[in-house]
Structure formats: structure tokens, C-alpha cells
Structure 1
Amino acid sequence: MASLRTVTTASTTDRSSPQWHDAALTWVGDALARHGRRITGPVQERVRPWSLVWQVPTDAGDAWFKANNSGTRYETGLLATLSRLTPDAVLHPLAVDPELGWTLLPEGGPSLRDVLAGGDDRVARWERVLPAYAELQRTVAPRAGVLLDDGVPDHRPERLPGLLDELLDDRESLRLGQPDGMDAELHERLRAYRAEFGVLCRRLGGTGIPATVQHDDLHDGNVFAGADGYRFFDWGDASVAHPFGTLLVTLRSVAHAAGLADDDPALPRLRDAYLEAWTDRYDRATLREAAHLATRVTTVSRALSWRRALATDDPARAEYAEAVPGWLGELFAPVPI
């Protein structure tokens, strides 16, 4: 095991080495054997700066191996915890190693994207998906401290102003003065905005809605839509945060895919379908105000998740480098809900 740890805790670029490949394949094979399965062919590989994913053919259907980089390694432990707390809403891993950031998952069935490609009504389908996701968040909220102890990033409203300050001081991540980076004018505008941003975060935290797991990249490619319900996956951007920040990416992705304008009534309809889960404790006006605030401040969360994802020396990170300054610039974009 010592040699395995030596190989597998090295940098992301070492994942291309035969030694790393052999160690990972041995781990996958051993994990499958414990479930009475065996590998039946070569793996299909997809590599991104933040993770490596293998599609592994077995005698009982495909399995999926994921190796996270150091910035997103917490996803492994988070998924194991979610599978205990919300067993019907995520896949149950076949094996996990939180120290290495390795996960082996079974096949999850068709994605929501696959289903929608078949002609389903996109908005109507999301009206069913969002309440299921909201229930996951509500179930996890009382255990949010456990997630923090396990290393899930802390993006609660009271933490975001300090995190924004850190980002604005991180010249490398912002790529200040570079063609794909933040220009000096926007940088100064964001610095001047810090006090107002702090006010927004305090207002959001003051609603009393508890922090919980926030996927932060919930779109139709990250939801399985099987006959037995919806399961949510790919938690590499997740944090402990105000739950309603989810709506930032989700509503944008729905609007983009469906060709909806910012003022389309379908968007507040989806927002309200999601918020319904909290109406037993909060009035609708409070919930809508919180959703408006959360979708504004969560642009900082998105910038932070991209900074973690790109915390690697993989040369391919340059392809995505504009994401950190780009999401910070979105702080000034109109909020349609």
C-alpha cells in the first residue's frame, strides 16, 4: 500500500504515467471483485485539469472511476456522506478513498440531458427535479457541520466577504492585465463594491435559512433521470453554503437550453417550485428575497470553485483560466429572479 500511496498522491500530470495507471487499475479491479464483478475490456478515459474519469466495462455493466485533483478531492468524502444521509438522491459508491480522492460508481442510467433530448418539456421536467434536490438539501442541513469537518469548502454567507477579498488579492487567478484575465478597471470596481457585497451577504444570512450542501453546478448533465427518480452527481464544485445559490447555474442553464429570455415567466415558476420545500417555515416573500440575494452573491462561489478546480500544474488549465475573473465580473450582471 505504501507504493500505491507514493504513486497516487503525486501531481495531476503523473496520472499519465504507467505506474499511476497500473495502480489505479488495480484499485478499481480489487473494488469490483469485492462486488463480484470483473473488468472485461480497456477503460475509456476523459481527462480535465480537475479530474480524470474512466468508463470501465465490466461483466455487470459499466462502472465509473473518478480521480480528483487536490482542489476537488473533498468530493469523494462528500459523496460517501451524501449516500448515507440521502440514499435515494445520489448513487451509492462501489468504493471510495477520500485520501486519494478516488471514487468508483455504478452506472447511473440516462441523464436528464439524455431524457430532454427525447423531446420532454424542459421546464415541466425541471419543476419535478428541483423539489427533489431541495429535499436533499433540507435533509443534509442539520449535518452541514459534518461536511465542513470533512473538508467541504465553507461558502456560507458570513464567509463570502472575506473570500471575495482573498480572490481580489489573488493576481495569478485573476490573471490581471492578461488578455484572458481581469482588467484593472473591473478590479478596482470590485474592490469598491466590497462593502455593498458585505451588506448583501449579511441580509442573506439574516433570513435564517440554514446553510447546507450546495451543488453549484446543477444542470441537466449532472442529474440522472431514471425510472426510480432523480439522482444528483458530479459534486466537485460543491460547498456548504446558502442553499438557494443553486439557482444561479440551474436557471441560467435552463434558460440557455430552452432559449428563454431573462424575463420569461418560466424562470420565476421554476424558482417557486424549488422554494416550495421551505414554505413550511418561511413566507414566500422572504424566500423570494433570499433567492434574489443568493443568486447575486453566489457568483463569488462560482469563481472560488473554478479556482479550486484549476489548482493544478496541468497545462490544460490555461483553457479555462478566464473562468475565475469571468465569474467575479458576473457580480454586476442583472439578476432575472
Structure 2
Amino acid sequence: MTGAATWRDPAWLDPALAWARERLARLGRTVTDPPEQVHVRAWSTAVRIPTDGGVVWLKSVGAGSAQEPPLAAALGGWAPGRVLVPLAVDAGRRLLLLPDGGTTLRASGRGGDLGAWEALLADHARLQVEVAAHADEMVALDVPDLRPERLPDLAAALLADDGALLTGTPDGLDPALRDRLRTGADAYAGLCRALAAGPVPASVQHDDLHDGNVFVTGDGFRFFDWGDASVAHPFLTLLVPLRGAAAALDLPPGSPVLLRLRDAYLGPWRQFAEAAVLRELAGLALLVGPLARALTWHRILRAVHPEEAAPWQASVPGWVAESVAPGPLDGAAA
């Protein structure tokens, strides 16, 4: 298990920095100033390393995000123009050495720009289309498999987990809602079957796509931070950015602007089906997505020291509850 103490412990940090220096030396680069550990979360850390060839970043993740180093490396090989390509990875030690990606969309001040969100979503769809043929390879790299065929059983196991749902605590899932979801398990399985039967192939599913996880470049965007990622129906990706865009753009519930963003994302998928079919599948994905997001939080928090996981544990029952709450497109005219 990991936590802030793990990442700050010299017994972990010093060997990790030694690995980074050795990899940099192979690239002909030298560290010029002391590294600075600027990001520490219970499940990950990032260290800024100045070198004679510019700043690089050492990142490490907890066991719940162990897929990130090999996935980032694989995506860098399959779609180097669309992702931040690692300089080196050590999958066994869950280490990534990354170039400085520049400015995120959020930091650029364009997070309130509708056109930027449209372009971001379209570019991310293009990435998913390009790597969809590698879905089985991603699973072989131990990227979590949340394809729709598997979701009903995974969701049922989560709904049976008192600890994950904080049963009997103030932040826990309402017992009546839990019963409702269990009773509706067949309906949920039907939604998953409909997604699986559709014409859109499984692909990488970022599961935390927002304006802080994409760099703005001269020719588009570079996506990064794959710690929540899975192999899944790609349209589940829409859940987080539609919510993020609604907040960043100050949109009211049911705003037609969100439909415009959905359609921008669906554009690159038109090679697989007509727009009406894609929109229907997107609607199904937004219904299925909250329970998948709860599974992601559960996976990550299981690998964190309990005392540090505690402030975040309500995210699991919270996302479970979102599965029956109004979605980001509810109320918008299709």
C-alpha cells in the first residue's frame, strides 16, 4: 500500500531518483539542480527534475494505478502525436520518466472556451479510434478490463461490498438505494449488453478526462495521466468531461451546449455508425458509466493506506448513487 509517507520516505525516493538519473544519463542528459517533489497524493507522486535539456518529471503511482507506466509507454508507441510519450518506464516499480508537456488547457486560461472543449473531445475520440485495435494488448498489459460484458458481475460484487459502500456510516450508500440497484441488476446488464452489441469497439477509457489532464500544443492536444484508465466501451469517457465542461463553462442543467460537446466527441466515430446510433450508444454509456467510475475509485483506494484513503472513500458510494441521479445530458433536447 502507498500513502504520502511512502512517497516522502528516502528509502523510496532516493532509489527512484537514482533510476531517473541513470535513465537520463542514457539519454545524454544531466540533472542540473535539486529535484523538487511538487505533487504528493496518497496514490501518486510527481517530482520535477531540472536537466540540461529542460525539465523532466518523475512520476510514480500506487498499485491501484499500476497500469499507467506500461499503458503510457504503449500509447506512446501507437499514437505518439496524441499523448505525452514517456522517456522511460519501469513497470515493475510503477515509475515513469516524462518530458515536460507544457501548459494544460486549464492553466492556459482556455478552460472556459467552448471551442477548446469541442476540439479536446474530438481529439480524444481520434486517439481512441486509433488504438482500439490494441484493446486486447492493453488488457495483456494489465490495464483493468471494464468492457461492458464484464461490468454486470463487477458491479454486483461492488454492491455486495459493505466496506466499499461504507455501509452503516454517514457517508455510506443509502440501504434503500442499494436494494433498488440490486433489484435493477437485470436492467443494468441489459444496458451493458446493448453497448457490447453495438458497432463501436472497446478502446482505452481515460476515466478522468478534464482540462487539467491535457496539454495544449501547436497542433492539438497531448493527453496524459492514465492512472484511472481501463479498457472499456470508449463512450464511458464522456461522463467526466461533460460534467467538467458544464462547470468550466457555467452551463445550466440540460444545456444544449452539452449536446454540441457530445456530438463533437462522436464525430470521429462516424466511420462505425450513423449519428443517431452513436447518440443512442452515448446515452447508454452515460447510464452505465457511474458504476464503472465507482469501480475505478474502489480499485485505487484499495491500494492506499486506510488512514489516507479515508477522506476519499465516500467517492465509491457517491459514484454508485450517481447511477440513479440525473446525468449530464438529462433535460437536454436530443
Instruction: Work out whether residues 49 and 314 of structure 1, in 8 Å CA contact, stay in contact via their aligned partners in 2.
Output: no
Equivalent residue for 1:7?
A: none
Q: Deviations over 1:160-196 (max 9, x none)?
A: 1011011012211111111222132222122112111
1:243 is the counterpart of 2:234: yes
CA distance in 1, matches of 2:216, 2:176: 44
Structure 1 residues 172, 65: closer, same or farther in 2, change over 3 A? same
Instruction: Work out whether residues 37 and 45 of structure 2, in 8 Å CA contact, stay in contact via their aligned partners in 1.
Output: no
From 20, 34, 38, give the equivalent of 1:28.
20
Structure 1 residues 121, 256: closer, same or farther in 2, change over 3 A? closer
Which residues of 2 match residues 52-201 of structure 1 at below 5 A?
Answer: 52-115=45-108, 117=109, 122-201=113-192
Partner SS state of residue 316, structure 1: helix
From 254, 262, 268, give the equivalent of 1:271.
262
Letter in 1 for 2:28: G
Partner SS state of residue 212, structure 2: helix
Letter in 2 for 1:177: G
Equivalent residue for 1:306?
A: 297
Equivalent residue for 2:9?
A: 17
Once the two structures are aligned, what percentage of the paired residues are identical?
A: 46
From 49, 61, 69, give the equivalent of 2:42.
49
Structure 1 residues not aligned, in runs of 5+: 1-9
CA distance in 2, matches of 1:28, 1:281: 42
Letter in 2 for 1:137: Q
Equivalent residue for 1:319?
A: 311
Instruction: Work out whether residues 111 and 211 of structure 2, in 8 Å CA contact, stay in contact via their aligned partners in 1.
Output: no
Instruction: Work out whether residues 41 and 58 of structure 1, in 8 Å CA contact, stay in contact via their aligned partners in 2.
Output: no
CA distance in 2, matches of 1:56, 1:29: 9
Equivalent residue for 2:322?
A: 330
30-39 vs 324-333, which moves further: 30-39
Structure 1 residues 228, 276: closer, same or farther in 2, change over 3 A? closer
How many residue pairs match? The answer is 326
TM-score w.r.t. the length of structure 2 is 0.94
CA distance in 1, matches of 2:73, 2:306: 27
Which residues of 2 match residues 259-298 of structure 1 at below 5 A?
Answer: 259-298=250-289
Structure 1 residues 69, 132: closer, same or farther in 2, change over 3 A? same
Structure 1 residue 54, shift from structure 2 partner: 1.2
CA distance in 2, matches of 1:228, 1:263: 32
Instruction: Work out whether residues 48 and 316 of structure 1, in 8 Å CA contact, stay in contact via their aligned partners in 2.
Output: no
Partner SS state of residue 171, structure 1: coil
Partner SS state of residue 230, structure 1: strand
Structure 1 residue 111, shift from structure 2 partner: 0.3
Structure 1 residue 11, shift from structure 2 partner: 4.9
1:202 is the counterpart of 2:202: no
CA distance in 2, matches of 1:65, 1:174: 34
Structure 1 residue 120, shift from structure 2 partner: 6.9
Equivalent residue for 1:6?
A: none
CA distance in 2, matches of 1:189, 1:120: 38
Q: Deviations over 1:85-143 (max 9, x none)?
A: 0010111211101111110101001101022x2x5752111111212111110111111
Letter in 2 for 1:94: L
Structure 2 residues not aligned, in runs of 5+: 330-334
Partner SS state of residue 164, structure 1: helix
Letter in 1 for 2:299: R
Larger fraction in helix: 1
Structure 1 residues 279, 42: closer, same or farther in 2, change over 3 A? closer
Query: What RMSD in Å do the two structures reach over aligned CA positions?
Result: 1.5
CA distance in 2, matches of 1:304, 1:101: 21
Structure 1 residues 11, 245: closer, same or farther in 2, change over 3 A? closer
